[in-house]
């Protein structure tokens, strides 16, 4: 994470407003691109799973846990699925 001075990164009006609310505090501003990257990755995972890729293989390929792959593909982990009542 690269840090920079608020005085050099923000317009004066915004800086003045920020000082009123958070003077002396450390503030982290996340990068906007994170969510679309995950959305693309999740779509690729779903597509691969639909054509037969294994959960373990997808987990290894994308450096995620198998539970996370299940959440992306099915919305639920196989051990947490609600049981059907007869």
Rounded Cα gap, residues 78 and 71, in angstroms: 9
What is the rounded CA–CA span in Å between residue 47 and residue 33?
A: 22
Same domain? 19 vs 6: yes
Q: For the segment 46-66, what is each residue's pLDDT rounded down to a tens digit? A: 999 989 999 999 999 999 999
One domain, residues 80 and 40: yes
Residues 38 and 51 in one domain: yes
The whole-chain average pLDDT of the chain stands at: 82
DSSP state letters, 9-35: HS-HHHHHHHHHHHTT-------TTHH
Do residues 7 and 45 share a domain? no
State CA 71 to chain mean position distance.
13
Is the pTM of the predicted complex or chain greater than 0.85? Answer: no
**Residue 13 belongs to domain spanning:** 1-30
């Amino acid at each position: 994470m690269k840090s920079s001075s608020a005085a050099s990164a923000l317009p004066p009006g915004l800086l003045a407003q920020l000082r009123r609310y958070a003077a002396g505090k450390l503030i982290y501003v996340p990068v906007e691109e994170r969510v679309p990257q995950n959305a693309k990755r999740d779509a690729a995972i779903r597509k691969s799973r639909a054509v037969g890729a294994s959960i373990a293989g997808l987990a290894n390929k994308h450096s995620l846990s198998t539970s996370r792959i299940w959440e992306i593909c099915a919305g639920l982990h196989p051990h947490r699925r609600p049981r059907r009542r007869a």
